Amino acid sequence: MAILVILISSAISFAFASDPDTLQDFCVALPSSSETGVKVNGFACKELSNVTESDFFFNGLANAATINNTVGSVVTAANVEKIPGLNTLGVSLSRIDYKPGGLNPPHTHPRATEVVFVLEGELEVGFVTTSNKLISKTIKEGEVFVFPKGLIHFQKNNNADKPAAVVSAFNSQLPGTLSIAAALFSATPAVPDDVLALAFKIDAQDVSNIKTNISSKK
């Protein structure tokens, strides 16, 4: 009997740990609710009478974006902030464009697994496990690679002459992005210099130099 109770309790806990089914056809995000107020896995719903086809449409991924930064890549997001109709649906897309030699620096998505599909070019991609193992591969046009939720990952265009591009899919309407270098060296308020120096085994001047370099590249 005790074992049966444990099994039933485990099953109930598992059931309530997953996302519930939606109780309506959709819940288009109300623009004002994305700016203020408490948000719990979504935004307030727009009145049905005010919903239009434009709430489910976005053409921002059709063309390559202009790249004006030193890392040589740019991300164009198609998430709930761009497509209000994605609210509560748990999916989104992005397009990433890379200059020749461009890098999408190490980062994480705390709320989503990412799948990339190569539109053009060839990329070196990889992620690091919690046991510090690097899983990496070179991928080319038409191929797919997966980055598990929350793990540090990157993409680099190794071609010195040709650009590259991918489309990324996420199982979140707003996956979030945490850039490792920027988070540590340009946080506000700042992470204490002695913490960074000790963590990376560098001196205070090195910390200052890195902060200056990252700040100048924003």
- The alpha carbon of 185 is separated from its chain's Cα centroid by a whole number of angstroms, namely 19
**Residue 143 is labelled as binding a ligand:** no
Cα–Cα distance, 94 to 79 (Å, whole number): 8
- Is 104 within any annotated ligand binding site? yes
Q: Which of 136, 148, 139, 90 is nearest to 117 (CA)?
A: 139
Is 114 part of any known ligand binding site? Answer: yes
68 annotated as ligand-binding: no
Rounded Cα distance between 171 and 179, Å, is 19
Q: Are strands 122-128 and 92-98 parallel, antiparallel or unpaired?
A: unpaired
Has 157 been labeled as part of a binding site?
no
Q: Compute the C-alpha angle 107/68/125, nearest 5°.
A: 35
- Residues contributing to the annotated binding site for oxalate: 104, 109, 114
Annotated binding residues, written as ranges, equal: 104, 107, 109, 114, 153
- Please enumerate, by residue number, every residue annotated as part of a binding site for Mn(2+): 107, 109, 114, 153
